[in-house]
Structure formats: structure tokens, C-alpha cells
Structure 1
């Protein structure tokens, strides 16, 4: 972008001026926007040339004054040259502040990101979850690594973040970090919050995400069939630890609770529901959204099984839940024991509840969404995809309930006779 710079020295008379020397000001104009700076000198109006912007006198004082003004002009153009060389933003106000020694420390991306993450860490447990804080820590780490990879710097001015920056960051995540589409989009979504903070504080004037078009692609959710659930439930485990992992996983299959909600589940979270039966009543740790789930007999049996567990008595929880990492590791072992080829993780239990346990048994998706604690039914639809077996069941009901009469198709083909053929 071409930067047009002009400089003008002029006399600025005060409103109360009557006679005598007048203060000399320097006006810096960049792309039509002005900024004024006092020179600290003055001149008699009759000794001043408006067209030249200098003293018109022939005395030694006039020559000294003009030399001083020329030095100021040189300094202004040197500041302009340095800004161009460093590829920094150039405005009349920035040049003025540099000249007066009032140069502001530029606000940088990493410093804003770090301050955001600091506040998130403080609010973990009240407004944010530990998982959210971890995601922002990871996003910051990727951002710093990207700056070093692309620009060979540890931080960057907000003024340099544009659409090209976002495109290069997206490319870095997909190529260097080997992120799939959804992971790359989610990291940039976290990064986008930092950009929105900068825009709200007017540290940036243009949103670099304006033309960023990538979207999260639908992912086929894995779930267990009724037969696979039965196989896991009936299989004898080789250790007490595996049995506990199996039980906790099955409990999630029949309640739809996420790992962290099962881990934190307490006896006080089991209430008497509107129907007089036992219900789970919690607020989801991830979203703080209320979730109320009627307890199926299988789930209640699993709760009773751990009523006198020592670990549960100490922690006050219903189940002795280990870390999510260990849980998933044990689940792979259980899958091998049961001959199940699917990549089983604890989160598959939530998908299984939404599909096999509820949807395939005719529970409306609105009720499933309520039990899962979703705020948007579209989120539930990602868990509970329309399954072939459900489609088959629905169509069978349609055939049974609607008296469709078979249609008699005439197999004959009757070709119209041409006019000439008719006259023969």
C-alpha cells in the first residue's frame, strides 16, 4: 500500500493574538489524515513566507531558524523511513508520537492470548472447565510454534494479523501438525476468540477471519449394537479392575453420562423423579446445563453393586472411576477379550445411549436431547443418526398400519399409429 506523506510548517495564531512573534507548528499528513506538532520556535508574521513554510528574513536568526526547521523535517522523514523498513503501520499520529518520544509498546498476539488464558485458569470451576483451559493452552502452544515456523519470531504485532496470516496458520495446522479438518477448524475457532477480544478493544480494525470459509465436517459416530452390549455384559473379566471398568462403561451406555459426569456422580445426584422412580439429576460439567435421566433397571443394578465399595465411601462418589486415559486403555483390552473390532473409547458409551438404547427403542430425539443435556437438538442429531434398522422398523410399521392396495401394472406397450399408417 502506497503511503503519501507531506510536511508543512506554519504559524498558528492564538485567538487573543494582537502582535508579536507567533508559534511555529509542524503539520504531518499521512494519506489525508493530519497530526500537529509544536516546533518550540516562533516567528514574526511579516518575516514568514507562507508558500515556503520558512522564515523569509535575511538575518542570522532567520537562517538559524530555517536550519532548525530543516533538521525537524529530516527527523520526520527518517522516522517514516524506519517505519517502512520495519513494515510497521504508518499514520500521522504514529509519526508524531515517535517524534515526541511517546512511542507506545505495540500490543502483541501472544501477550493477549496469555492474558486470556490466565483469566480462564482463574475461572476454572466457576465459568470454565479444566478441559476448556487445556484446549486454550494447546491452542496457544500451536500459535507460538506457528509464529516460529513461519515468521521466525516468538510474538507478533496485532497489526500484522490479516487474512494471509489465518490462511498460513490453517495450512500449518493441516500440514506440519497433521491435524484433520475438524481439529484444524476447532483450533482456529479458539484462536478466533482472541481475535474477537482484540476487535472489541479496538486493537484491530479489520477481522482477518472475514473470508475464512472452512467448516467442521460431519463425523460418523461409532456406537455399540445391542448384541455387543450383551457380549460385554456377559463376558467374564480376568480381573476385578477390568470388571469395574466394564461396569462403569455399561452404566454410561444406559445413562448417556460423559466420563467426567460419571466420575463426579454422587448419591445425592440420585433423586425421586416425577414418576416416583429413581432419576439422575445433575448439571453437566462441560456445559453447566441441567440433565435429568430416568434410571433404567440395568443402571440401577450397577449402582447397587458398588454401594459398599471402599473407594466410593472415601470419595463420596457412586463409582471408583480412574483417569480417562486409563479407562480407554482398559476398554481396548475389554474389546479384545470380547472379540469386538471397534475402537472402543469411553465416549462411545454416550453414542450408544443415544442410538441403541434410546433411539432404536422409539424414544423421541427431543427426549434424548434433554437427557444428554444438549442445548441444541442439532448436537443430538450428530449422536443419534438415523440408522438403517430404525428406517426398516419405521417402514414395517407403515406397511402394517396403512392398507396399501397393490397396483396392477399393464405390461403391454401401445404405440400410437401414424397418420400415414392410418390412411393405408
Structure 2
């Protein structure tokens, strides 16, 4: 492999003066520095401190003992340089710890991609079981693992690959494989990019194979309801209690911005009277574990009151699965004569919240905080600027330009 980036490599010998032996001598240590990171080990040589040449990192004088020790130090330096060159040639990268362990003869087992991924999945599963990660995200990571395993089997006829084989060529081939066989790229490439970043941080990879790989995120037309459609939804007469629950939860989400999983997790303890004397929902989003503090409008409060005493374990709403809700929503929207151009899902309510509140003049910063976004740019995607919003903004300046209108009438 060709090395695209040369690392900085230094070897320094020094004395371990804080641990002198009974004979007054101290151990001579070797410090390896690669790209600013260090590793130390004993050379098994020792010398009296006053015999050490600090400037040159050697024993001073020409006595037999001095010559013998300096020869050993030269052998250590030469061996380290040779091993460094071999590791660079073979693996295309080397760390101070890896070079040290190789020199000392320790077993240096190469980490493999899928075994590393398995460890990540195990840790992520534990976080899901503690309620700090979403099941949907866990399922997504598992699905990517399966695609990677199938790709490696197809491409390399093996069960796994080492991290030194995770190159730009591998990324491009996996990208092509996904496009041809799966049809979806972005959803499955991003988890692999996360694994790669973790491997770089842990020095399992010398350089990031994604550094020249550009992932294009196309702007999507996120579904949402306009004000008139929300009014139809609220006025809708459900056919049964389960459909009514779906309608109520969806409307609740339209005015709070919570995703389905968060709505189902809401309990009475999440509702608090806040600093301004109003009722708020104080909760962390399951997907990102970020704070999402939302002031409860009257429409949301009315829906909560409707289900008081009808739930177990202090939940605000009865239990229902997301798939069932999405099926009910299609029925509801068909009955209402709304949203015929594409299938609706419960997540539309969250998009509706962002779009509705921005349209009504709530600053993006406030909407972002309520939705629990880590990045304002995410809110800018969710909260579409509609023609209605543009019209309202222009209304604010119409009178300021009346003078110009009068002047043009006389031209």
C-alpha cells in the first residue's frame, strides 16, 4: 500500500531518576513518539546518573561499560526503525503503542471490522435496554451490519476484514453494492462512517477512508399538514376508539412536536408548572437524549385531560404501536379528503409542528429548542417556509412602501 501521509517518528532515551536502585544506578528508558503520541518501555539497561549525557541520550565516556550500553541502545533504535518501516509498508499506519508492543514481542491482534461492529452493537443494545436509545436506531444499525457481512462475503469470499483493508476502494465498492442491490445508500453508509470515525479515534486506522468520500444529502419534501387540514382532522368523527386515539395523539404531536416514541413515553411526571406559571412538558428525546421543553398549549392540554384515568402506570396515552397508528392515519386522511399525493405517517405531525410554528412567527431558535434539535440547520429542514409565511412577512412592510406606491401612480 502506498502511504499518503507521512507520520512523525522519534526515539528518545532517558533516565528513570525517580526509581534509583540500591547500587545508585537508574533504568534507561526508551520513549517512542509518533504523531505526538507516546509510549515508553525499559531498555533493560542501567547507568549512574552522572554518567548520562542528556544532550545526546547516551552514556558518556569510552569505558567498556559505556560502549556496551550504547551499543545496546543503538540496536534498540535500529530495531524500532526497522519495525516502524515494516508496519508502515504492511498496514499503512502505526501507533506508538503498536510499535512498542511489536518490539517487545507482545501478541498484537488485528481488529476486524465486523468484530468491532459487534462490540458496538452490544454496547448500543445495553443503552437501548436502559431507555437511552431508540429501538428504531438499533434495528437500523443491525440491518447495516447484515449488509456489510453480505457484502464482505460477496466481495472477499470471507467472513470479515481487518481495518487496514477498510480503504477508500472498500467504501466506494460498498456504495456501488448498495446502489445496485439495495437501492438505498445514505441510510446504510452513515452508520459505517460512524464505525470508521470510532476506529480512527481508537487508532485502529491511521487515516479515515471516508475523507474523500462525499455523501450527498438531497433535500426532501417532508410531509406536513397545513392549517386547514389540521382543522379537518380535529373535526373528524372517528369510526372507533382506536382510530380516535390515533387522531388525538397525532393532533397532540402537531402542537408539541414530539415523535411517536416520545408521545408514548410521556407520563404525568413530565408535566410541570414552569417558571412562567404555565404548564410545560419537560422531557429528553429518546432518539438523541437532548432536552425538549415544550409549553403546553390549550389544545394539547384538552387532549391530555380526555385520557385522564384511562391509562396505566401514569402514562398520558393508552398503548398503541406505530404501525397501527400509520394504518389508521391513512384511513383518517382518506376520509378527510386530505394528503392524497403521498402516504402519511405519524412523523408528519412533528414536521407539521415545525412548519406551523415557524409560519406563525416563532423564531427558528425557539422551535429548535422545543424540538430538541442539536443543530439549528436541522430545524431549517423540518420547518419549511411556506408561501403563507412569506405573505405574512411581506404584510409587515406593505405600509412602509405606501409612499412609493403613491409616487408611481403619478408617473
Tell me if both proteins adopt one fold, taking TM over 0.5 as the criterion: yes
Task: Give me the CA root mean square deviation.
Answer: 3.9
1:91-139 C-alpha deviation (Å, 9 max, x unpaired): 9xx9xx99xx987543211111111211222233365443333232122
Distance 1:167 1:410 in 2: 65
Residue 319 (structure 1) aligned with residue 341 (structure 2): no
Q: Please state whether the residue corresponding to 1:154 is helix, strand or coil.
A: coil
1:120 alignment counterpart: 124
The residue number in structure 2 matching 1:50 is none
Alignment of 1:372 onto 2:377: no
What's the secondary structure of 1:354's corresponding residue?
helix
The DSSP-based 3-state class of the residue aligned with 1:322 is coil
Contact 1:248/1:321 (8 A) holds in 2: no
SS class of match (1:220):
coil
Name the counterpart of 2:58. Answer: none
CA distance in 2, matches of 1:104, 1:283: 42
> How big is the shift at 1:354?
1.2
1:166 and 2:214 correspond: no
Measured after TM superposition, the shift of residue 325 of structure 1 is 1.5
Normalising by structure 2, report the TM-score: 0.72
Displacement of 1:370 in angstroms is 1.7
Aligned with residue 332 of structure 2, among 331, 334, 350: 334
The number of equivalent residue pairs is 340
Partner of 2:82: 34
Q: Which residue of 1 aligns with 2:351?
A: 351
Q: What SS does the corresponding residue of 1:188 show, helix, strand or coil?
A: helix
Counterpart in the other structure of 1:190:
191
Counterpart of 2:214?
A: 213
Distance in structure 1 (CA, Å) of the matches to 2:251 and 2:239: 17
* Cα distance in structure 1, aligned partners of 2:373 and 2:91: 45
Does 1:405 pair with 2:404? yes
TM-score (norm 1): 0.70
In 2, the alpha carbon distance for the partners of 1:365 and 1:380 equals 7
Distance 2:304 2:138 in 1: 32
- Is the 1:113–1:194 contact (alpha carbons within 8 Å) kept by the matching residues of 2? yes
Q: Distance in 2 between matches of 1:203 and 1:391?
A: 51
- How far, CA to CA, are the matches of 1:347 and 1:283 in structure 2? 17
Structure 2 residues not aligned, in runs of 5+: 4-63, 68-74
2:272 — aligned with what? 271
SS in structure 2 opposite 1:237?
A: coil
Establish whether residue 382 from structure 1 lines up as the match of residue 367 from structure 2. Answer: no
Task: Indicate if the aligned counterparts of 2:131 and 2:286 stay in contact, CA closer than 8 A.
Answer: no
Partners of 2:237 and 2:409 lie apart in 1 by 58
Greater CA radius of gyration, 1 or 2?
A: 1
